[in-house]
Copies of this chain bind each other. A is one copy, B any other.
Amino acid sequence: MKAEVIAVGTELLLGQIANTNGQWISKEFASLGIPVYQHSVVGDNMKRVEDIFQAAHSRSDVIVVTGGLGPTEDDLTREAAQKIIGQRLLEDQQAMEKIALYYEKNKQTMTANNRKQALVFEEGIVLPNQEGMAPGQIVEHDGRAWIFLPGVPSEMKSLMKSGVLPYLQRSYKLQSDIVSEMMYFIGIGESTLENKLSALISQQTNPTLAPLASVGEVGLRITATGETGDEAREKIAVMKETILEIVGSYYYGSDNVSIESTVRDLLNKRGYRLGAAESLTGGKFIERLIALPGASTVIQGSLVAYTPLMKEKVIGVAPSLIKEHGTISNECAETMAINAKRILEADVAISFTGVAGPESSEGQEPGTVFIGLQIADERPSVYQFQFEGSRDKIRSRAVKKGYELIFHHIKNL
């Protein structure tokens, strides 16, 4: 079986966005053992879209097309594909009702061009779009599977997971004979991890190990093949045990977890509620946790105080403390954590104060960050860091470090 992925959209050829859809789809296909032979990006031009569809038809068994399903004249994926597939395009009633309802609810007039988004191939499988307007479609034609998905990444991913991947597993009787697990580590750098595991990484061919760094944490993908899925999974289990013996103290979970979801689950397990006092992180810390479902059982809130005056008024830091030590100090971070714990009636309280840059502040360089932490009746602790990089990177590193500190403090309670 050969698969290929085609992205339609002039914005990609102008460099306004990268084709991350192509990457995401390829990763999912790789984990199912479906080989992807080509990615293409083509603009919103009928002749060129047709040409690339013809070429795909001549060489691939599974053709995934993202983008070009919207309401505008530029959106011509359906019309171009129709020249190959030959089926009629009909209005999908469910999709049309959803579009109409959207405009009704928002008290806007639906313009006629919106009907186009509900058009589907007569003999295709319609994949209802929970996240947006245009449904996804799978059309079997001439021994090939054409898969049409919206270009918006959240819509594309949701339709892939709910409709496309199950369809492919069913239709092609795919065996999960390639299995992989992504292990996540925090508090250890990529090169240190790689160094500690160097013997394993260089010797192994099955499973293979591939480290993958991101901001403040490291992933390690273990990929194994076997006659059966069970055989592959067994190989992974053995390798995982060896890895945990070496770097287990930095490990926080595998596959569909994040450090935020891990902390949420740990808080839940302990029956702890979390409160924060944020200066340079500016709501970014609490926002990451509130982004997850189930946040309401573990979160109290966050006091985002961006000025010295607000730290006094909202978090109750004494003016004399600020005068003596400044807001970017061990003392201020400690008081912020203690007071946030009291004000927000939290079991775990964390505070962030520091310099995000680009300018220095209170005579301290960008990247200087103090994080305060108080858990239950323990004594509060404060950690000082010097992070590198842009304003954005410094703030992201601080947030990630906050989760790391909470994780390491409560995982063994």
Contact = CB atoms under 8 A, between A and B. Distances in A.
Contacts of A389: 130-132, 154
Given A71-B190, A113-B195, A290 B301 contact: no
Nearest to A24: B15
A106 interface: yes
Interface string A65-85: 000001111100000000000
B195 A111 contact: yes
A71 B392 CA distance: 23
A395 to B, nearest CB: 7
A50 to B, nearest CB: 13
A211 interface: yes
Contacts of A190: 70-72
A18 B71 CA distance: 28
A16 B284 CA distance: 24
A37 B52 CA distance: 12
A302 B290 contact: no
Given A42-B38, A111-B195, A283-B285, A303 B304 contact: yes
Contacts of A307: 296, 299-301
Interface string A13-43: 1111111101111111110000111111111
Q: How many copies does the complex hold?
A: 2
- Using C-beta atoms within 8 Å of the partner chain, give the interface range for chain A: 35 or more
Interface stretch (A139-147, A240-248, A308-316, A317-325): A308-316
Contact of A283 (B72, B195, B284): B284
A11 B43 CA distance: 24
Interface string A32-60: 00011111111110001000100100000
Nearest to A55: B55
Nearest to A291: B392
Interface string A273-303: 0001010111111110111010110011111
Contacts of A23: 12, 15, 17-19
A8 to B, nearest CB: 11
A301 B314 contact: yes
B189 A108 contact: yes
A299 B13 CA distance: 38
B212 A11 contact: yes
A303 B296 contact: no
A366 B290 CA distance: 15
A210 B39 CA distance: 24
Contacts of A189: 108
B39 A113 contact: no
A203 interface: no
A282 B293 contact: no
